[in-house]
Structure 1
Amino acid sequence: MARKKGDTKICCFLSRSTLSQIIAVIVKNIVLMGYGMSVGYPTILIPDLSRRNIGDPLRLGPEGISWVGSISLITVPLGCLISGVVTQPLGRRRSMQLLNIPYCITWLIYYFSTDAWHVLVNLAIGGFAGGLMEAPVLTYVAEISQPHLRGTLASSASVTVAAGIMIQFIIGKFLDWKSAALCSLLVPILSFTLLFFIPETPPWLISKKRYDEAKESLAWLRGWVSLQDVEKEYEELLSNSRINEQMKQHRMVRKPSMVKSLMSRNFIRPFTLLTFACCLVHFCGLTPIQTYSVKIFNSLHSPVDGHSATAVLGVVCLIGSLVCLLIVRKCGRRKTSFISLGGTTICFFVLGTYMHFAKINTLEEPSNVSHGVTNSTSFAVEHSGQVTWFPFTALILGVFSAQMGIRLLPWTLVGEVFPDEIRAIAAGMMGTSYYVSGFICNKTLLKYISLVSLPGAFWTFSAVSATGVMILYFTLPETEGKTLQEIIDHFAGNSKLGNNIRKKIKNVGEENQQSEKLYRFETT
């Protein structure tokens, strides 16, 4: 049967619409690539600052090293707390653009550092800038994308962060840490420039009564079409904005303070779920393993040196994020998270058991390591070369499992589960909980290993992952393919999403009708 001319035109329009949204998200993601490079940078710093001679102003002991691995995580929440407040008046795009400036400054400070405290202060500044990034980056995707693309485009954020970490790990294999900082400077410069060429989000422009700009932005995002082609969707967005404004004003009469809004079910239920997911990301082992990867690989007597193994780990993290991006639309967030945590549970339990019988109980110091081989009396070196590949493979597979599922969960949900009026602030608060839990995990890891041994730490990672599967089974709904209003209604207790993936996506008009229905319900 021949395809009608109109059908061909529609398919072409949809293709261009998808492409324009992808381009906008790619440009936005370059900001995240720079952030990922800053996240991976302590992994380069830790081995070098550990092995320097006593008396060297750039040398740090175990306590100082624990701060290198964690200080940026504790300053990120400070930025997160004000991220939403800063984002709302400036706009999503301009906020992301301005945040490239402190990253340029921090990379230059690294290059000219002459004392360890310079590095620590700079890590703290970089973390604060990363926190400011949370609200604009997360809300940008939610506000420019169509429902059937939102999950995939949101998932691309974790892919880009993983790519930034991988690039930094590879740079660290070939360059010293100061030269690596100078190379990293190029990314925020590129990001600042490219952000001039993508539009601000239509909902934000409408909220500022910049209606003509909002329509032009929507036309750009739907495939560089004419203003007439987006007239219907624009009117629906405008109607949604007015309904949301009426709902906001009505709520202000009934709930005059933001504190009361944050005490509502619309906030508490999704925020509790996201906070738990944030803790899972770190305490399943993903974050501390990436931070201390060189030391861990050396302790496992990896068949390749610690820096090379870490570069491989970076590539695996990127592949895991790409796999997640590909399967999340088909499997949904629930199944992907269960597969991820299940794989992490098995791999880290097996690895912990291996280390127990191999008597690998502590982390090796870099001064004792030469090209990935430690002292000759170790279990792994006494056995055949093939045996040394087993812990290396188990660790890689465990990190891959965590990266391809649970790593993305809080970041894809945060743009979907909160109402418009608190979305930016809630995103900042969720980022705060994410980085506070990450700081606690990284800062205490070395002491925890000294208490329970390295095998005990990996058994703990395994137990946390198994617990996560059980709790998420009862608390995590499937949001893939659902509209924002349906998701918000679920957490408000007005309806149930269910655990199935919706293949047929509702359009903006249907979402608008749901908003009107909800408004009428609340005003009665």
Structure 2
Amino acid sequence: MLIKPLNLFSGGFGFDFSKGPDKVSTFRRILPQFLSCLSQYINGCNMGLVLAISSIVVPSIIGRSTELNPDETLHMTPEKASWLASLMFIIQPIGCILSPFFADSLGRKWATFLTSFVPAFAWILLPNVQSEFMIYVGFLSLGIWNGLTSSLSIYLNEICEASIRGVMCAMAGIAATTGIFMVFLLGSFLSWRQVSYICAIVPILNILLTMLIPESPIFLVSNHRTDQAEKSLQVLRGWVSSKTITPELDQLKRASELSASCVNCEKSGQKCNHPPPTLFDKLKDITRKRTLKPFSIISILFLLMQFSGMFAMRPYIVPILNAHGIAFSANFITVMLGVLGILANICIALTVRTIGKRRIYLYSMVGNFVSCFGLSIYGWVFFPRGWTSVGTNDSDLESIRESVGVYNYFALAMFLIMQFCISIGVSSIPYFLQGEIFPFKSRTFCCSLTGMENQLFAFVATKTFYDFERWLSLPGVIGFYGVIAVLGFILMIFMIPETENRTLEEIELHFSDNKRSIFDINIKK
């Protein structure tokens, strides 16, 4: 009998589907959706670990974190270290290309299960590396895995009801920032090799959990597994009777038939008996307005995310903080940044239903460019001409600390504001929208393509940070990111739609209307 609840959670074995209640409490209806989302939350946590690990590896291998890594045998120049920090981003497109094939052939559940073995291998490998080649292998493995997950997060959007979808997606952001916080916190008193061993626990846990969750009903319906889709919905809606979920199941069937239709059959309203779309057909579908409009929006959002400040600076955040003359330990501040990231995503979960995704994004972008300009002005006032975070010695840093005096608290406040604003909207909302605004027919494929774009943007932003810093100086490059944020804010006023409390069907109908331009941001209920 002890195993029965576990079996209920896993998708209904042991549950008499013919005797489920017609009505259940709100708690019982939401509980299985939350439990099923846990796998993607753990995936998100692991993604946060991947994004943050270079922040503690790079200072160690360039000789800037000797107190926590006194026996470090692996050493690199800052130039090589910048390649290492950027490497996982440039390799991620390979994972992005493979991601839709895993998600569409194996399903969201089993694709998540199999891909979790990759980071488990990488986290165990990294603490044992003794050469540049092997650390490259570890970072490449993490990068490929990050790409493989690009179209798996749509599981959250596909299993959750419209009324709670925004909150459930916001919790994925909490998980990701928790992963970043874990690396910052552990990295403040452990070596990066010890932290890597601890990180291995996360994907191993996800391998065990993923075996228990139900498959996405939308995926099952699209693959003509209607009986399994019905049982999956019964579990996800609170272990209810088939009568309760029949309207939703019928809606999924209609959406599946529409999305499976070729262009000609869709226009004529006829049932399509043509073979499934090929890769060429999917690429061609991107040129259609219903796909091109959301694709353009997501692409611009990802570009702004990577070039608006914190994301480009994150691998080098410890020397950047030191270069600003902040009185507190850089490792302590990174922990504060991690805590702020978690708090920001908790704020999204609490406010997204009332404020909406659009306003949260725009407000966060304002805070982001204000903090960028604040840091830039601070630098122009107190730093010597051409000041950078690279190539400075202890005497230079001590001189800066004496120069800035109590004004270092202003710089600290700007970094904290930037982290909060980036986390609450600039880096979170694009992922929310990615799983919502693409048409179901090409959702996994488009998510993988935009994920690939995002990683290419991240590679360019990370790899060019030191170059921009040498050309423009440290305050100059941060001011440059502020200008990009201002331009992005103006553009998104006219482009970003509000999807909160809209069903996926309503969103798809909005973008399918060729009479609406990309600047038509009102999605009708």
> Which category of TM-score, normalised to the shorter sequence, fits these structures?
0.7 to 0.9
Higher mean alpha-carbon deviation, 413-422 vs 485-494, is at: 485-494
Measure how far apart 1:41 and its partner are.
0.5
In structure 1, C-alpha distance between the alignment counterparts of 2:193 and 2:502, rounded to whole Å? 46
In structure 1, C-alpha distance between the alignment counterparts of 2:512 and 2:522, rounded to whole Å? 19
Which residue of the partner structure matches residue 28 of structure 1?
40
Matches within 5 A, 1:93-492: 93-137=109-153, 139-246=154-261, 250=265, 257-359=281-383, 361-364=386-389, 368=393, 375-378=397-400, 380-382=401-403, 384=405, 386-492=406-512
- 3-state DSSP of counterpart to 1:415: helix
1:395 maps to a residue whose letter is F
Post-superposition Cα deviations, 1:133-154, rounded to whole Å, max 9, x if no partner, equal 11122x2012101111222222
CA, structure 1 residues 239+485, in 2 after alignment: closer, same or farther (shift >3 Å)?
closer
In structure 1, C-alpha distance between the alignment counterparts of 2:264 and 2:105, rounded to whole Å? 19
Measure how far apart 1:10 and its partner are.
8.9
Query: TM-score scaled to structure 2, two decimals?
Result: 0.87
Measure how far apart 1:36 and its partner are.
1.2
Given that 1:67 and 1:120 are in contact with CA atoms closer than 8 Å, whether structure 2 keeps it comes out as no
In structure 1, C-alpha distance between the alignment counterparts of 2:22 and 2:310, rounded to whole Å? 43
1:411 maps to a residue whose letter is Y
CA, structure 1 residues 210+249, in 2 after alignment: closer, same or farther (shift >3 Å)?
farther
Given that 2:23 and 2:240 are in contact with CA atoms closer than 8 Å, whether structure 1 keeps it comes out as no
Residue 15 of structure 1, aligned match among 9, 24, 27: 27
Post-superposition Cα deviations, 1:187-223, rounded to whole Å, max 9, x if no partner, equal 1111111112210011111222322221111111101
- 3-state DSSP of counterpart to 1:200: coil
Q: Structure 2: 5+ residue runs without aligned partners?
A: 1-20, 67-71, 267-271
Q: Structure 1: 5+ residue runs without aligned partners?
A: 1-8, 507-524
Post-superposition Cα deviations, 1:86-145, rounded to whole Å, max 9, x if no partner, equal 2101000110111110111101110110012211221112101110111122x2012101
In structure 2, C-alpha distance between the alignment counterparts of 1:262 and 1:34, rounded to whole Å? 30
Given that 1:17 and 1:221 are in contact with CA atoms closer than 8 Å, whether structure 2 keeps it comes out as yes
Given that 2:48 and 2:177 are in contact with CA atoms closer than 8 Å, whether structure 1 keeps it comes out as yes
Measure how far apart 1:500 and its partner are.
6.3
In structure 2, C-alpha distance between the alignment counterparts of 1:269 and 1:375, rounded to whole Å? 48
In structure 2, C-alpha distance between the alignment counterparts of 1:382 and 1:359, rounded to whole Å? 8
1:73 maps to a residue whose letter is F
CA, structure 1 residues 421+341, in 2 after alignment: closer, same or farther (shift >3 Å)?
same
Measure how far apart 1:464 and its partner are.
0.8
Measure how far apart 1:494 and its partner are.
4.5
- 3-state DSSP of counterpart to 1:429: helix
In structure 2, C-alpha distance between the alignment counterparts of 1:248 and 1:198, rounded to whole Å? 35
Which residue of the partner structure matches residue 509 of structure 1?
none
CA, structure 1 residues 495+330, in 2 after alignment: closer, same or farther (shift >3 Å)?
farther
**How many matched pairs?**
488
Given that 2:325 and 2:398 are in contact with CA atoms closer than 8 Å, whether structure 1 keeps it comes out as no
Query: TM-score scaled to structure 1, two decimals?
Result: 0.87
In structure 1, C-alpha distance between the alignment counterparts of 2:260 and 2:482, rounded to whole Å? 46
Measure how far apart 1:481 and its partner are.
1.4
Given that 1:46 and 1:65 are in contact with CA atoms closer than 8 Å, whether structure 2 keeps it comes out as yes
CA RMSD of aligned residues (A): 2.6
In structure 2, C-alpha distance between the alignment counterparts of 1:383 and 1:285, rounded to whole Å? 22
CA, structure 1 residues 258+239, in 2 after alignment: closer, same or farther (shift >3 Å)?
closer
Post-superposition Cα deviations, 1:462-489, rounded to whole Å, max 9, x if no partner, equal 1111111110111122111122222223
Given that 1:36 and 1:163 are in contact with CA atoms closer than 8 Å, whether structure 2 keeps it comes out as yes
